[in-house]
Amino acid sequence: MFTAKVDTSKMNYLMAELAAENFKDLNEIIKDQTKVILGNLIAVTPPGKRQGNDFLNKKGYISNAAFQNAKKVITSDVAKLFPTSAVEESKLKGQIAGGKEFKTALGLRQVKQFAGSIAELERIHKQSRNKRGRVNAGRASANMALTRTQIKNEFKKRQFAKIGLLNAGWLNAARDLKLAKAATPKWITRHTPKPGYAIFRKSKRGLAITIANKVNYYPKDAAARINQSIYRSERNLRALIGVAMKKNAEKTNRKMRRK
């Protein structure tokens, strides 16, 4: 489980200001804004982007574009690592031993191994990934392996099936907070909810809500992604406060004109 400490003092101040401007109960504002934060967290969780609006829909939720982009990335990475051949295995291994150059997505390369099973492709794929999660063919194509088209396609299909697993760590919190269904598209909800939660605590200071995604392979830039979701939520709060202040000012002006 990854734990990140973020500064929510601005959020707390802005929520109190919004409650005052809208004459609403602060606890209700906290619930509403926690939903906004959660929607933003889901949106910046891979395959969502940390910054930019490329993978967001009009409501600011993660869109199908994130899923489609993830499929493109997987297809590209698999193509880099696993050129295919229909040559009989013993002859193919002889060609590999003889230093033959094979046609690959990166051009003609000497490929020094053959992978004849999904398990072998999974092992090679895992060892070739860098800190950002992308693959590297390695020096002298060390991470490449010739395989069969059928095996490659099945491996790619299994990788596609994993898209949204990390986002599914927010599903329990989304259920407990009654988050809009649009925030968790089908390619996320097709997965069973992964470890995570929303905890509600009441104290003299008011309501405190803790949300967590306990999937243990969150990316190394997790803290930056979480801070980005907080920033988006603060921006949303400022916009709501601006709208409320304008409405209040208009009400005051109307009252003044009646006098």
Domains of the chain by residue range:
9-47+164-250, 67-161
Q: Residue 217: its pLDDT value, please?
A: 76
User: Per-residue confidence at 69, pLDDT binned at 50, 70, 90?
Assistant: very high
Measured distance CA(197)–CA(37) in Å, rounded: 14
Share of the chain above pLDDT 70, in %: 97
| pLDDT, average across residues 176-187 | 96
Contact 161, 64 (CB under 8 A): no
CA 201 vs CA 27, 36, 244: distances in Å: 11, 19, 28
End-to-end, the C-alpha distance of the chain in Å comes to 61
User: Per-residue confidence at 104, pLDDT binned at 50, 70, 90?
Assistant: very high
Measured distance CA(24)–CA(29) in Å, rounded: 7
pLDDT tops 70 at residue 219: yes
Q: Residue 95: its pLDDT value, please?
A: 96
CA 145 vs CA 88, 133, 157: distances in Å: 15, 19, 18
Contact 174, 183 (CB under 8 A): yes
Q: Residue 92: its pLDDT value, please?
A: 95
Measured distance CA(20)–CA(17) in Å, rounded: 5
User: Per-residue confidence at 256, pLDDT binned at 50, 70, 90?
Assistant: confident
| pLDDT, average across residues 113-121 | 96
pLDDT tops 60 at residue 2: no
Pairing between strand 206-213 and 107-110?
A: unpaired
Whether pTM > 0.75 for this model: the answer is: yes
